[in-house]
Amino acid sequence: MLERLNYVKIAPRRVLDAGSGPARDARALAKRYRKADVLALDFSQAMLHAGRPRLRFFERRPPQRVCADLARQPFAGASIGLVWSNMALHWTADPLAALREFHRVLAIEGLLMFSTLGPDTLAELRQAAGDARVHSFTDMHDLGDMLVEAGFAEPVMDTERVTLVFAEGAALLADLRASGQTCALSARSPGLTGRRFHASLLEKLAAQVRGGKLPVSYEVVYGHAWKAAPKHTADGRSVIKIF
């Protein structure tokens, strides 16, 4: 995503890293846009606190950390020049609500750039564990429709497919736990799964091993869109520019 910014000519006065985690991207954005105020927003206070390294020489104005929900942001409308959201939308219960909020806070001609996970992600684990244990991910085309519904102009969507290889199912599960990737379903069982389920899961994953390797799929969805000037006023009248 950072490389894609090389093809976009913008000079935002304020940048929002939405779903920032420990604010690694926010720090990179602060380095790229040295004159901009950079905001790092995340739902987890602990995650924001974990991303507080010592101030570096290029950070005259380090990212400001804000604990809030993507769908209910404490920012004024049309106050952000660039909304950046890297691998956060798939954690939201309603991606459309978050996209509408992105549109609200963006200034006219502001840019939204995001990445998220698509429906083919963790297909092997879903096959072994079942839909009740692995939450679903939104299709690229549905996200494009949501961008239009939220009011964005000129949405561009594309995907990248990545296959990670593990020696066994236990290594996959350990990697998911270490990276904090858990099931986000609100209806998931709050209790422990138990030894029987765990043994069955490992057995089903072992059946997918080919040549001593367990392939695991990730579908990365990228999108960007602009906030265009409104074509209608709040009371329904058409806006016509006279040059």
Per-residue model confidence (pLDDT) at position 243: 58
Which tokens hold the place of 163? 């296959």
Q: What is the mean pLDDT of each run of 10 residues along the chain (243 residues)?
A: 93 97 93 95 91 57 91 97 97 95 98 97 95 91 97 96 96 92 72 82 96 96 95 66 61
Please give the pLDDT value at position 50: 84
Residue type, 18: A
For residue 95, what are the contacts with CB-CB under 8 A and spacing of at least 6?
89, 116, 138, 143, 146
Residue 230 CA to residue 137 CA, distance in Å, equals 31
User: pLDDT at position 109, please?
Assistant: 96
- Predicted confidence at residue 188, as pLDDT, reads 66
Residue 91 CB-density burial (10 A; 0-12 exposed, 13-18 middle, 19+ buried): middle
Architecture of domain 3-226: 3-Layer(aba) Sandwich (3.40)
Paired with 106 in beta bridges are 80
